[in-house]
Each structure stands twice: as C-alpha cells, then as structure tokens.
Amino acid sequence: MHRLIPILQKQDIPEQYLNTPIGLLLEYHNLGREPETYTQAQLLIGMCMDNRKHLRIPDNFAYIIRAGGANLRYSEFKVSYAIAVGGAQAIALIGHNQCGMVNLVARRELFIQNLVENAGWDEQTASEHFNTFAPMFEIGNEVDFVLSETIRLRQRYPKIPVAPLLYNIEDNFIYAIRED
C-alpha cells in the first residue's frame, strides 16, 4: 500500500492529472462529483474483467476495455480505435488487488477441473488450453504489472497521457500508483 496514493479530496489527485479526463475519472468515482453530460468519450479505461469492480462515471464519458488483469496487450487495435476514431484523449489503466490473473499456476487444477465439469471439455484439451494461454495472461504482481503496462502504452502512444491506477476491492476506491 506504500506505493498507492489515496484520492480522498481533489488536492490528492496528482498534479499531472488535474483538469484532465483522468482527474475527472478520480473525481467522479472517488469524490462523488456530479455527473456532466458527454456526447463523446474523453477517456479510454483499461481495467480487469473482474465482477467486483464498478465505476461511478457519467454515461458516454469513457470507452472501457475489460481484460483479465487490465492487460491490454491483446486489445491494442481497440485501444488505437478509441484514440484514432473515438477521440479518447487519455488512458486510465486500472488494475485491482486480489486479481485472479496473479499466480495463475496455483489455480491450474481448478481451471482444468471446471472446464471439464462445467463446460464439457476433455481433460487433455483443458490442460493444453491452460498451458498455452496462462503464460500470456499471468500478470505477476498487480501494481508492478500496471506500471509496466503503463510504460508500454506510453511508448506506443507517446502523445497520450497514461495513468497507472489501482482499484481497491475492500473500499471500492481508485488509488494512483506512485511511479518513483
């Protein structure tokens, strides 16, 4: 938690995000800012597919790409589209604590067993599926992954601000991640 910056008042928002779509996201979600009306998305939010997270933002404010671990590596065309055609001016990359994409290998047997029992797969196919894709989607530590993905996205889209953020499942607040 020492790497997280709580956003409990407007003054807590890192200076580079004040008066930007990223700052507005933090104001809407954490500070209860009254929603404004948007006709075009201001922001692209990349976040995990986890069902425990719900954002408090106005309609039409943001494009949202949900992918395991907030891993946008395999959604890059969608990111490019949101920027090039959709007009998104910034990216908020939101990981979260207690992410299922951390330590996937610990859930290997459960994954295989439930594909067999619940989806009708045979055990060998389920095992091969896990072995093929788990390494692509394993993120390691949530904070470290969000920071590394932020760096990658900044290199790919140098004119677009990218904010590394973390959603805390326990209090439902979004925290900024210290980059130093």
Q: Which tokens hold the place of 52?
A: 């425990």
- Determine the average pLDDT of the residues in 66-81: 95
Asked if residues 38 and 86 have their Cβ atoms less than 8 Å apart, the reply is no
Distance CA 78, CA 57 (A): 21
Residue with tokens 């601000």, as numbered in its chain: 161
pLDDT of residue 1: 57
* Of the options 2.60.40.420, 3.40.1050.10, 3.30.300.180, 3.40.50.1220, the CATH number for the domain spanning 4-101+140-177: 3.40.1050.10
Q: Residue 87 pLDDT > 90, yes or no? A: yes
Residue with tokens 């001016």, as numbered in its chain: 89
Distance CA 166, CA 78 (A): 21
Which strands form 91-96's sheet, in the order they lie side by side?
Answer: 4-5, 173-177, 162-168, 91-96, 43-47, 62-66
pLDDT digits (tens, 9 = 90+) for 148-170: 999 999 999 999 999 999 999 99
- Determine the average pLDDT of the residues in 14-36: 97
Residue spans per domain, the chain: 4-101+140-177, 103-138
- Provide the 10 A C-beta neighbour count for residue 80: 14
Residue type, 30: N
